[in-house]
Amino acid sequence: MYTYILITYYLLLLSAKTATTKHVLDTSADFSKRTFVSQKFRKMKIIVTGSLGHISKPLTQSLLGNGHSVTVITSNPEKQQAIEESGAVAAVGSVEDGPFLVKTLDQADAIYCMTPPNFSAPDQLAYYELIT
């Protein structure tokens, strides 16, 4: 499971970095003189779940460092200030709350979902089906 999480984490970092600068083939030049040129793309609106945990915190810092707009979802209102001090927007709510997620995820370019097991749930599979 942790390997999957890390792969997802690095893919999001990679896509966020390539979203700001992209190398494309310049097709306006003569075929023998074509080169790759850098083009700037708009910054992304990225939603991160997992609050300021071991994976979500460095991911948030990296995304903010690359100039992206980051909203961090937390279920703990006490973490709101720390999230906002990092430069991200805090969204306090639960991943189990459908209307909250619809509102928060509106117009997001990318979402990183870190959902740890809910050990108080009697059926883990049913819990994951509920939040997906």
pTM: 0.66
User: What is the residue range of 72's domain?
Assistant: 2-131
Task: Provide the number of structural domains found in the chain.
Answer: 1
Task: Say if CB 4 and CB 112 are below 8 A apart.
Answer: no
Percent of the chain exceeding pLDDT 90 equals 27
Q: Residue 59 pLDDT more than 50? A: yes
Task: Say if CB 48 and CB 108 are below 8 A apart.
Answer: no
Mean pLDDT of 87-96: 92
Residue range 17-39, pLDDT digits in tens: 544 455 554 455 555 554 544 45
**Residues linked to residue 46 through DSSP beta bridges, in sequence order:** 70, 110
Estimate the share of the chain in helix, then strand, then coil, as percent rounded to the nearest 5: 40, 20, 35
Q: What is the CATH number of the domain that holds 92?
A: 3.40.50
